């Protein structure tokens, strides 16, 4: 009897991926920028001064009309062109400034060294924060991990939305509440997140070509930030997901405190000057693209209904990367492979590895299925992996855990087999049968385990938990002497040593260690300055724990020298009058 084995070969479809132009791959760019407009003059004007920001990097040539100009700097050290017009004879004066720039990609190695940066810690009305913002930003992690986590938070929680009817960029508090915005709002919020943790941030305005997702090669007005990391200003673009590395289409015009960006006009004389600027135009003259260097390890043949590992090793520059692993689809568009945590936003260094667990579709023992998986890094297809699925071999799920833990708590994951532990939020991995992990911040954190004998997943939700509470806060003010009283309540069941400190206008003036059994009464005397004073009581805890209030002391009106002199002369005159009458 003859056996007939029927083998069916299915070639399934790639997902629809359209990437016409990818600015993230531009490593060098030469461009022309034109700023122009006109001034409408009425009356007798003697002098007009027009201040325009210029590209802060890579400037090759400048052409200015009218030709009477000079380079000046604003209070943050940004260079500007000052066009001076004396005794204008026309009621309408056009102006035009043309720049030729050559911009190169930025990375961690060639980043600008930071010197004076204390003013970039300032809390402004556009980058203000509240307790919720501060609690999300707080974390027991490296600065790189914090930046990537907060960029992930913005990407996952905010909707990208441009409002054509509004020219006003919303503040960080409005953005946090409304959960929508564009580059200005994203940058204001990320600035607030980081400054709330005492990390200096420069808000950057300029031009850039949008992410490959918007499929355009036109320049847009854009905003991003620079974070002080290890003594350097490291660029971070929370809108287009770039960090450490920044593509060459980003043309910087100014470093600022927040989105309050203005170019200015001043004039002297009798009358008025109306300024009518046109929208700046930018044109690419030349560009150079780069290649991404990654290696991918994956099996070529897998069994149906089984799980397997795919891993990627970064051989490129250090920085923030957006990575996506995409399954092929059937004719209805449904993914055939199940990929756990397919999208990642990670800060990677050279040599870092990241892993995915992938589950293959079921096939019968007579079927063969060829199905490619596509790996995309920063919008570029790095590799397509042709996977062949045949037969069956079950790799069981040996553990699955969903657990809520407070920030700072340590948890140990254990399995019976030795294999690879890894996470979807960092490049951390370890070959062992157990792994200890401390909850770094508020949020969700996923871990996976893989061995040829089985796999597991561990999902953690981390929440804020206070160990202490400041209660019944009162103060009594006598002249400039403030008596401050409050109770420090222990919310845990056991006596605990902790430290509290008092800050006056941001400066620490008192620090004390106390043993809190249930509650302790604290009273301190503080000498305040004239004017308004911001007082902050901080308690060392798992997360930021503080109370703030403002106390104002009215300034004494000091008599000036002129007033004293007039009073003195008046007294002498009155004395002389009395003498004459006598």
Q: Residue 10: inside a domain, yes or no?
A: no
Quote the crossing angle between the two packed helices 183-195 and 143-157, to the nearest 10°.
140
Q: Is 580 helix (H, G, I), strand (E, B) or coil?
A: helix
| Confidence at residue 14, expressed as pLDDT on a 0 to 100 scale | 46
Are 363 and 409 members of one domain? Answer: no
> Of 157, 140, 123, which Cα lies nearest the Cα of 543?
140
Of the residues 231, 253, 275, which one is the last residue of a structural domain? Answer: 253
CA distance 344 to 426: 9
Residue 15 lies in a domain: no
CA separation for the pair 467, 572 (Å, rounded): 70
Cα–Cα distances in Å, from 144 out to 31, 158, 202, 234, 394?
Answer: 32, 21, 17, 10, 38
Identify whether residues 121 and 227 lie together within a single domain: yes
Residue 9 in any domain: the answer is no
For residue 9, the model assigns a pLDDT of: 42
Residue identified by tokens 């009218």 is 66
Q: Which residue, chain included where needed, has tokens 């930021």? A: 544
Per-residue pLDDT of the chain (582 residues; tens, 9 = 90+): 333 333 444 444 544 444 457 899 999 999 999 999 999 999 999 999 999 999 999 999 999 999 999 999 999 999 999 999 999 988 999 999 999 999 999 999 999 999 889 999 999 999 999 989 999 999 989 999 999 999 999 999 999 988 755 678 999 999 999 999 999 999 999 999 999 999 999 999 999 998 766 666 789 999 999 999 999 999 999 999 999 999 999 999 999 999 998 899 999 999 999 999 999 999 999 999 988 888 999 998 888 888 899 999 988 889 999 999 999 988 888 999 999 999 999 999 989 999 999 999 888 776 788 889 999 998 888 889 889 888 777 778 888 889 999 888 899 999 988 999 999 999 989 999 999 999 999 999 999 999 988 899 999 999 888 888 899 999 888 888 999 999 999 988 788 889 999 999 888 999 999 999 889 999 999 998 888 888 889 998 877 788 888 888 876 655 556 666 677 677 666 656 655 655
Do 186 and 312 reside in the same domain of the chain?
Answer: no
> What pLDDT is stored for residue 174 in this prediction?
96
Question: Do residue 504 and residue 523 come from a single domain?
Answer: yes
Does one domain contain both 50 and 62? yes
Model pLDDT, residue 551: 85
Buried b (16+ CB within 10 A) or exposed e, 129-151: beeebbbbbbbebebbbbbbbbb
Residues 337 and 425 in one domain: no
Buried b (16+ CB within 10 A) or exposed e, 332-361: eeebbbebbbbebbbbbeeebbbbbbbbbb
Q: How many domains does the chain have?
A: 5
Measure the CA–CA gap between 339 and 324, rounded to whole angstroms. 10
Angle of CA points 30, 35, 39, to nearest 5°: 170
Find the CATH number of the domain harbouring 442: 2.60.40.420
Q: Which residues pair with 376 in a beta bridge?
A: 324, 381
Which of 334, 359, 394 is the C-terminal boundary of a domain? 394
Are residue 58 and residue 139 in the same domain, yes or no?
no
Question: Among candidates 356, 250, 321, 264, which has minimal Cα distance to 80?
Answer: 264
Hunting for tokens 């800060």 — which residue is that? 347
Q: Is residue 18 part of a domain?
A: no
Q: What is the pLDDT of residue 571?
A: 67
The CATH number of the domain where 333 resides is what? 2.60.40.10
Which stretches of 281-409 are assigned E, i.e. beta strand? 281-289, 294-297, 301-304, 307-314, 319-326, 338-339, 343-348, 353-359, 367-377, 380-392, 396-406
CB atoms within 10 A of CB 27: 17
- Same domain, yes or no, for 381 and 321? yes
Q: Which domain covers residue 332, as residue numbers?
A: 291-394
Write out the DSSP string of 1-21: -------EEEEPBPP----S-
- Count the residues in the chain: 582
Q: How far apart are CA 200 and CA 66, in angstroms?
A: 39
Query: How many Cα atoms occupy the beta-carbon half-sphere of 425 within 13 Å?
Result: 23
401/489 same-domain check: no
Please name the helix (run of DSSP H) or strand (run of DSSP E) that holds residue 575, with its range, or none: helix 561-581
Q: What is the CATH number of the domain that holds 74?
A: 2.60.40.2250
Whether 213 and 160 have beta carbons less than 8 Å apart is answered as no
Contact between residue 259 and residue 126 where contact means Cβ atoms under 8 Å apart: yes
Residues 123, 246 within the same domain? yes
Instruction: Tell me what pLDDT residue 11 has.
Output: 43
* Token pair recorded at residue 271: 């009358």
In a domain, 13, yes or no: no
Q: Is 450 part of a structural domain of the chain?
A: yes
168 located within any domain = yes
Beta pairing class for 79-86 and 26-53: antiparallel
d(CA 444, CA 411): 14
Assess whether 284 and 295 both reside in one domain: no
Q: Is residue 582 part of a domain?
A: no
Domain-ending residue, one of 334, 368, 394: 394
Q: In a 10 Å sphere around its CB, with 0-12 CB exposed, 13-18 middle and 19+ buried, how is residue 171 labelled?
A: buried
Same domain flag for 53 and 42: yes
């Amino acid at each position: 009897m003859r056996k007939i084995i029927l083998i069916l070969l299915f070639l399934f479809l790639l997902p629809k991926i359209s990437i016409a132009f990818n600015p993230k791959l531009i490593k060098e760019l030469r461009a022309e920028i034109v700023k122009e407009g006109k001034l409408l003059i009425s009356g007798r004007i003697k002098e007009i001064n027009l201040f325009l920001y210029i590209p802060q990097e890579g400037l090759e040539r400048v052409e200015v009309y009218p030709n009477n100009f000079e380079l000046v700097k604003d209070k943050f050290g940004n260079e500007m062109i000052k066009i001076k017009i004396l005794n204008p004879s026309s009621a309408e004066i056009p102006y035009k400034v043309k720049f030729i720039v050559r911009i190169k990609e930025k990375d961690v190695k060639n980043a600008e060294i930071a010197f004076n940066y204390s003013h970039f810690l300032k809390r402004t009305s556009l980058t203000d924060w509240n307790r919720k913002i501060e609690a999300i930003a707080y974390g027991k992690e490296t600065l790189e991990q914090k930046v990537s986590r907060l960029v992930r938070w913005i990407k996952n929680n905010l909707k990208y939305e441009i409002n054509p009817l509004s020219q006003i960029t919303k503040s960080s508090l409005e953005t946090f509440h409304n959960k929508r915005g564009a580059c200005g709002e994203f940058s204001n919020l990320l600035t607030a997140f980081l400054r709330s943790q005492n990390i200096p941030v420069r808000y950057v305005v300029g031009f850039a070509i949008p992410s490959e997702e918007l499929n355009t090669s036109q320049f847009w007005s854009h905003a991003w930030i620079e974070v002080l990391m290890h003594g350097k200003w490291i660029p971070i673009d929370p809108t287009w997901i770039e960090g450490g590395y920044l593509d060459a289409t980003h043309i910087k015009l100014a470093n600022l405190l927040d989105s309050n960006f203005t170019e200015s006009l001043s004039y002297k004389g009798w009358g008025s000057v109306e300024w009518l600027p046109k929208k700046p135009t930018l044109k690419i003259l030349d560009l150079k693209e780069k290649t991404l260097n990654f290696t991918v390890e994956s099996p070529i043949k897998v069994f149906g209904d089984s799980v397997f590992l795919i891993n990627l090793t970064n051989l490129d520059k250090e920085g923030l990367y957006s990575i996506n692993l995409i399954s092929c689809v059937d004719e209805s568009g449904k993914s055939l492979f199940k990929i756990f945590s397919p999208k990642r936003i990670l800060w990677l260094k050279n040599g870092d590895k990241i892993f995915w667990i992938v589950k293959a579709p079921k096939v019968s023992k007579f079927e063969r299925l060829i199905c490619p998986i596509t790996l995309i890094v920063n919008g570029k297809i790095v590799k397509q992996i042709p996977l062949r699925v045949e037969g069956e071999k079950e790799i069981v799920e040996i553990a699955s855990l969903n657990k809520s833990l407070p920030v700072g708590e340590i948890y140990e994951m254990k399995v019976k087999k030795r294999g690879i532990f890894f996470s979807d939020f960092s490049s951390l991995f370890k070959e062992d049968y157990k792994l200890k992990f401390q909850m770094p911040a508020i949020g969700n954190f996923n871990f996976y385990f893989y061995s040829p004998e089985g796999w597991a997943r561990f999902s953690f939700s981390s929440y804020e938990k206070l160990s202490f509470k400041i209660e019944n806060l009162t103060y009594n003010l006598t002249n400039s002497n403030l008596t401050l009283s409050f109770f420090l309540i222990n919310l845990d069941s056991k006596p605990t040593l902790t430290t509290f400190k008092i800050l006056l206008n941001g400066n620490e003036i008192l620090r004390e260690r106390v043993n809190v059994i249930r509650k302790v009464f604290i009273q301190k005397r503080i000498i305040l300055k004239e004017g308004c004073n911001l007082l902050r009581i901080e308690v060392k805890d798992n997360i930021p724990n503080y109370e703030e209030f403002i106390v104002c002391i009215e300034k004494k009106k000091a008599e000036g020298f002129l007033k004293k002199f007039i009073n003195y002369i008046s007294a002498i005159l009155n004395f002389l009058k009395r003498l004459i009458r006598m």
